[in-house]
Amino acid sequence: MKSVDEKASLSEELMESLKAHTAKIAVVGMGYVGLPMAVEFARVGFDVTGLEVDQRRCKSLCKGESYIADLQNSDILEVIHQGSFHPTSDLNTLRDADVILICVPTPLRKSKDPDLTAILSAGEAIAENLHRGQLIILESTTYPGTTEEILLPMFEEKGVRVGEDFFLAFSPERIDPGNPQFSVKNITKLVGGVTRMCTELSATLYEQIVSKVVRVSSARVAEASKLLENTFRSVNIALMNEMSIICKHLDVDVWDVIDAAATKPFGFLPHYPGPGIGGHCIPLDPHYLSWKARLSGYEPRFIALASEINGAMPHHVVDLVSEALNDSGKAIRGSKVVILGAAYKPNVSDFRESPSMEIMEILIHKGAKLSYCDPYVPEVKVGNDILTAVVANECTISEADCVVVITNHRDFDYEMIVRKSPIVVDTRNATRKFADLGKVYFL
Ligand SMILES: NC(=O)c1ccc[n+]([C@@H]2O[C@H](COP(=O)([O-])OP(=O)(O)OC[C@H]3O[C@@H](n4cnc5c(N)ncnc54)[C@H](O)[C@@H]3O)[C@@H](O)[C@H]2O)c1
């Protein structure tokens, strides 16, 4: 039996080391989420190990090379030279850590069920190296209950008790890659621990680098809140996508309608239509919530409907391209179509789940002579074809029969595009200012 003093001294010791920045931190998964977090902790003097199983990523980090647009090589080099950041693929280093953050991917299976493979393998590696006094925080987006139902038993199986021997919490990551206004430091961080002390220790950790930390009542609340945030976006984007189709039928400009509604100072939060949804979060996360709700006997409807509407948008865009070409007496087959943007959102290189991929695949299937421009994405695989990006210059644009704006990267010269292309299909309202200079079809 451990004495009350012994239990208290473990948490006190950890608390002191968090405040003094002497705790050793390991971040598992050096992706869009884990890497910026690791760099931020290393900057303020914590000793941070960045664990990454992808050897290519690990080698890049060791050389001080960033593969994430929001971080420069100099950001990585700074903390490596400072001696506070150590990238490695050696999971045994977890035994040296006082704090472990899990930032691994949480994809979906083909059946749209959660795929927790990466959380499970990270959890196993942590369990193998678990020791008393460690704080473990899951940051990967997942369904309510993952921290307590999956990770907690894996660790307690080792004969240790949460809140006494080790500490466990969930803290959702809200980073928005490519957003210059918000980064790790100024996005409010939610923390929900399995016990009160778990919450307190986790909150103290983040308070060392984040301007505002909010303690919530449980890990489940923290897990569910992240899914609510992303389901909210998915459903509202779907509503605007449907509104854009309704407006087409009614011959009203949906973008004008949204701008007009957004003048209301309360009760309306503008969302915008687009070619579909992409990235690692919005298309996936709501299905984590559905899956868990279904297990408890409730079939969510909003999530399914939003997924259906958003998922149909790439076909709607192709219909618009077909209509636009048809107006000029052309068919998709044989027409030169230039896609602007492969990434799922502006000014980032991430093209996971990007609707651009599906739009390109359908257009190729329909016989278009297709090329794409994206300064952030040099190459993509579309079906069986490998496509290399071309530059969106006057030559490329003026040779096209139709240019389709899928991603509104800031790098594109929209005035030139409208002037030089015979037809523009714009799914992002990016060319609005120049619409009078050419022939633009808006979503
Ligand atoms: N990308 C975003 O904008 C964003 C925003 C908020 C939350 N999230 C969530 O954060 C989590 C991570 O997302 P991401 O975009 O950073 O993913 P990512 O794919 O960019 O990075 C995850 C990294 O983890 C590595 N990895 C996988 N299993 C590992 C293991 N067992 N040990 C060590 N490394 C391992 C992968 O090789 C990869 O480099 C996901 O749950 C995601 O939903 C992502």
Delineate the domains of the chain, giving CATH numbers in brackets.
4-217 (3.40.50.720), 254-442 (3.40.50.720)
Distance of alpha carbon 355 from alpha carbon 203, whole angstroms: 37
Report the nearest-CA residue for atom 21 of ligand 1: 31
- In the reported structure, the alpha carbon of residue 324 is separated from the centroid of ligand 1 by a whole-number distance in angstroms of 40
Nearest atom (ligand 1) to Cα of 33: 16
Atom of ligand 1 lying closest to residue 140 CA: 41
Report CA torsion sign: 292, 35, 282, 169.
positive
Distances (CA, A) of 35 to 67, 76, 175, 317, 379: 10, 9, 11, 35, 24
Query: What tens-digit pLDDT sequence spans the chain (443 residues)?
Result: 556 566 678 999 999 999 999 999 999 999 999 999 999 999 999 999 999 999 999 999 999 999 988 899 999 999 999 999 999 999 999 999 999 999 999 999 999 999 999 999 999 999 999 999 999 999 999 999 999 999 999 999 999 999 999 999 999 999 998 888 999 999 999 999 999 999 999 999 999 999 999 999 999 999 999 999 999 999 999 999 999 999 999 999 999 999 999 999 999 999 999 999 999 999 999 999 999 999 999 999 999 999 999 999 999 999 999 999 999 999 999 999 999 999 999 999 999 999 999 999 999 999 999 999 999 999 999 999 999 999 999 999 999 999 999 999 999 999 999 999 999 999 999 999 999 999 999 99
Name the closest-CA residue to atom 18, ligand 1: 31
Ligand 1 atom with minimal separation from the 139 CA = 10
List strand residue ranges (DSSP E) for 14-130, in order.
Answer: 24-28, 47-51, 85-88, 99-102
277, 270, 248, 238: which is closest to 407 by C-alpha?
A: 277
pLDDT recorded at residue 70: 85
Buried/exposed 99-137: b ≥16 CB within 10 Å, e otherwise: bbbbbbbbebeeebebbbebbeebbebbbebbeebbbbb
Cα–Cα nearest to 167, from 198, 206, 145, 192: 198
Per-residue burial over 328-354, b if 16 or more Cβ lie within 10 Å, else e, is: eebebeebebbbbbbbbbbbbbbbbbb
Number of H helices, E strands in the chain: 14, 15
Ligand 1 centroid – CA 103 distance (Å): 5
Backbone angles phi, psi at 353, to 5 degrees: 60, 15
For a mutational test of ligand 1's pocket, the pick from 35, 100, 104, i.e. the residue with the most ligand atoms closer than 8 A to its C-beta, is 104
Which of 173, 184, 231, 350 for mutating ligand 1's site (highest number of atoms within 8 Å of CB)?
Answer: 173
CA of residue 22 to ligand 1 center, whole Å: 26
Mutate to test the pocket of ligand 1, among 66, 94, 101, 103 (most ligand atoms within 8 A of CB): 103
Distance separating alpha carbons of residues 298 and 387, to the nearest angstrom: 43
pLDDT for 8 equals 74
Whether 281 is catalytic is yes
Tokens 């618009």 -> residue: 320
Task: Compute the distance from residue 104 Cα to the ligand 1 centre, in Å.
Answer: 4
Of 58, 281, 373, 402, catalytic: 281
In testing the pocket of ligand 1, which one of 27, 28, 33, 188 has its CB within 8 Å of the most ligand atoms?
33
Q: How close is the Cα of 323 to the center of ligand 1, in Å?
A: 40
Separation of alpha carbons 366 and 315, rounded Å? 12
> Cβ < 6 Å from ligand 1: which residues?
28-34, 51-54, 57, 103-106, 118, 121-122, 140-141, 173, 175, 177, 280-281
Q: How remote is the CA of residue 249 from the centroid of ligand 1, in Å?
A: 41
User: Which ligand 1 atom is nearest residue 172's CA?
Assistant: 7
How far, in Å, from the CA of 33 to the mean position of ligand 1?
6
> How much is the pLDDT for 162?
97
Q: Tell me, what DSSP letter sits at residue 108?
A: B
Q: Indicate which atom in ligand 1 lies nearest the CA of residue 28.
A: 33
